[in-house]
Structure 1
């Protein structure tokens, strides 16, 4: 029996990666701290993915089980796994790293020469590499040498909108039809697993930044502008003509940065932007602006979806006014239920908008900082 472990039994874990692994013939073990979800998975041993789009469909996922990711039983699962994937959020990777490390130690102690590939499917640049660093921090030199030989950490980029829709069955999930899962082929150890829907990539960074600068940039700017105007969902927000124009312009500005950096075909990339915008308009996916906009400190950080495309565009002397409008809207994001939003607003109150943005984003260009402040104050 081929075994895969999916850390994170949330909507993305079940609706995207876990579903693809199951369809590829793996027994999928969902590892999560939510005992109710784990119990339900073990009770039902199946769930349904509802694809909501112009053409809707239903996919029943079977051959699954669940394990609490804080329990010793997880180590036994890691000992037998061929592949491990994650969809937990990049901040949680260091938390699950010790358990993965214990599983690697157990494999070594058992004399296992089976290969294990670990893919962190997170909205972050080189998330698998980040997880590897955290895992290796829990291994000694001999264990690291074993991992170097038998454990791969291929980086990837993932793209699928999986909104938090309440269904009668708590483990059923709603997704859009479109998805991309691009995985760095050269970093696999042993034979590359054959998984339908997994695209093997040579130049992964181009895929990562294409997705980060396009879907993620446009999605969060839509959320922040929509939230500022009082809209609750992404489709409501993008239906606002003023928001639509700003978001499209921002995506085109980030897109021109990609065209210059990676030599993308401009016309093809702008068609890709239009495809993404149509995904935002999907009325069958009720996605909250609060969900998409959460964690503004991370989204404004130097390597993420607002600052990174802005600074890349500036490297090529390209206009960035719409991207700066997105940054200003992020600074306006005030959500008492989001700890990062609370922290951001506290920084603004204590030090002012400019100082807060400089600290959070790492931007030192005074003109850019002043331009964002001007947009912020005009809102």
Structure 2
């Protein structure tokens, strides 16, 4: 594979997927609507990534350029590329779907019948399958059969903590990432040859990895944020170093982990080691990750398929312990931010219709359920 178009030139795009592709000698074209960022990337054609773990190292990513994702340039790139990836956030996938559909259509017009694979690298379950549905809405029906044959929509699970760039940093392109990264793809969905990219792991059981990450990293991260907010902590590291929060976050991940162990037959010892690894990552001294960033968009995080309610539904299914997951949901209901429309909407809903109706509306749980009754009781004690 020679080249890729990557939608999203933000910190995650540059620090995670863009870097892995460039490190594998793939020429990466970033597509973004941020004109100054696109100008800087296309001019410099390189940027620095600070990789922080037990120690800190700075890597330079080269062979990159950028185009405006609203321009004809990006269509031209899609006509000739081997791979399209995204790191734009779940809400933006629907917006870029039309551009991707136009690119596929023009690709066929130009007579390019080589396979194209598309991978949405987003914090959502089966994000690429969702993107496919949106792309096909904009693709002429007469092209669907050909697209089914030549275009692979490959679901993936991604995991790397990439906090916002430090304000004091005078290089706007430099990004800081943790040393840990995981990019797992569904090998059954590729068209043509599967690219060999170091750091991209192939599996035929993607949902096990999607849920492992969602129920552990994402669940633990947001509960750390919400409990941290309640106690006045500013960063994830500060919150997880609070012994009472550490104990509760670990217990919540043990509760969600029990679902994974029963559903996917995960090895209990290995999964407990994975939980401990994640707790260590939250305490990384080099990462300044604010609880407000991790806690934002609480309505999305309270969705039936997301990090708080989906593991809870698993505990209901298997009849296992869930007290700390319930507390995490109660803490999410306490989250307030004047800069977050979802936080404002959530608080308005609680004021107008109370906890029970609000939870039923956003989580899909029954208002008369035992779980909602327990969450209400916990909410009143927080």
1:207 and 2:206 matched? no
1:114, CA displacement in angstroms?
1.1
- 3-state DSSP of counterpart to 2:328: helix
Q: Residues 228-260 of structure 1, C-alpha deviation per residue, up to 9 Å, x if partnerless?
A: 111110000001111111100000000001001
Aligned to 2:3: 3
Tell whether the 8 Å contact from 2:11 to 2:165 is kept in structure 1 after alignment.
no
Rounded to whole Å, the distance in 1 between the matches of 2:334 and 2:80 is 48
Tell me the distance in 2 between the aligned counterparts of 1:80 and 1:292.
37
Question: Could you tell me how far 1:71 is from its partner in structure 2?
Answer: 1.1
User: Which residue does 2:277 correspond to in 1?
Assistant: 275
**Displacement, 1:42?**
1.1
CA contact (8 A) 1:235 1:280 kept: yes
Asked if 1:370 is matched to 2:373, the reply is yes
Is the counterpart of residue 254 in structure 1 residue 251 in structure 2? no
Q: Distance in 2 between matches of 1:238 and 1:16?
A: 24
Shift of 1:141: 1.9
Where 1:170 maps in the other structure, the secondary structure is coil
Counterpart of 1:178 in 2: which secondary structure?
coil
CA contact under 8 A between 2:78 and 2:100: conserved in structure 1? yes
Q: Larger deviation: 34-43 or 213-222?
A: 34-43
Displacement, 1:165? 2.5
2:324 matched residue in structure 1: 322
In structure 2, distance between residues paired with 1:281 and 1:313: 27
Mapped partners of 2:280, 2:35: distance in 1: 37
User: Structure 1, unaligned stretches of length 5 or more?
Assistant: none
Q: Is the 8 A contact 1:165 1:286 kept in 2?
A: no
TM-score norm. by structure 2 comes to: 0.98
- C-alpha distance in structure 2 between counterparts of 1:310 and 1:190, whole Å: 39
Say which SS state the counterpart of residue 174 (structure 1) adopts: strand
Deviation string, structure 1 residues 144-165 (Cα, Å, up to 9, x no partner): 1121111001100000000112
Partner of 1:121: 121
Give the drift of 1:208. Answer: 0.2
What is the aligned counterpart of 2:353 among 336, 351, 354?
351
Task: Kindly state the Cα deviation for residue 376 of structure 1 after the two structures are TM-superposed.
Answer: 0.6
CA contact (8 A) 2:80 2:112 kept: no
The Cα offsets for residues 318-338 of structure 1, whole Å up to 9 and x where unpaired, read as 010000010001000001101
2:267 to 265, 270, 283: 265
The C-alpha deviation readout for 1:75-94, integer Å capped at 9, x for no partner, is 10111110011001111100
**CA distance in structure 2 between the partners assigned to 1:25 and 1:345 by the alignment:** 48
Aligned 1:37-76 pairs, distance under 5 A: 37-76=37-76
Distance in 2 of aligned mates of 1:330 and 1:249:
17
Structure 1 CA distance, aligned partners of 2:115 and 2:259? 38
Alpha-carbon shift at residue 357 of structure 1 (Å) = 0.9
Task: Give, in whole Å, the separation in 1 of the partners of 2:77 and 2:101.
Answer: 13
CA distance in 2, matches of 1:238, 1:345: 26
Q: Give CA-to-partner distance per residue, 1:44-86, whole Å, 9 cap, x none.
A: 1100110112122111101111111111211101111100110
Aligned 8 A contact 2:51 2:177 in 1 = yes
TM-score by length of 1: 0.99
- 1:159-214 alpha-carbon deviations (Å, 9 max, x no partner): 00001122221111000000100000010000001100000011000000000000
Shift of 1:285: 0.3
Look up the match of 2:287.
285
120-129 or 55-64, which deviates more: 55-64
SS of match in other structure, 2:245 = helix
Runs of 4+ with deviation above 4 angstroms: none
Q: Quote the residue 1:135 is aligned against.
A: 135
Cα deviation code 1:319-373 (max 9, x no counterpart): 1000001000100000110111111111111111111011100011521001001
State the match for 1:112 in structure 2.
Answer: 112
Aligned-partner SS, 2:138: coil
Question: Distance between the aligned counterparts of 2:352 and 2:154, measured in 1?
Answer: 42
The CA distance in 2 between the partners of 1:350 and 1:213, in whole Å, is 31
In the alignment, which of 326, 332, 335 is matched to residue 333 of structure 1? 335
Residue 99 in structure 1 maps to residue 99 in structure 2: yes
Contact 2:53 2:180 in 1 (8 A): no
Is this contact kept in 1: 2:105–2:143, CA < 8 A? yes
Q: Return the alpha-carbon distance in structure 2 between the equivalents of residues 110 and 38 of structure 1.
A: 26
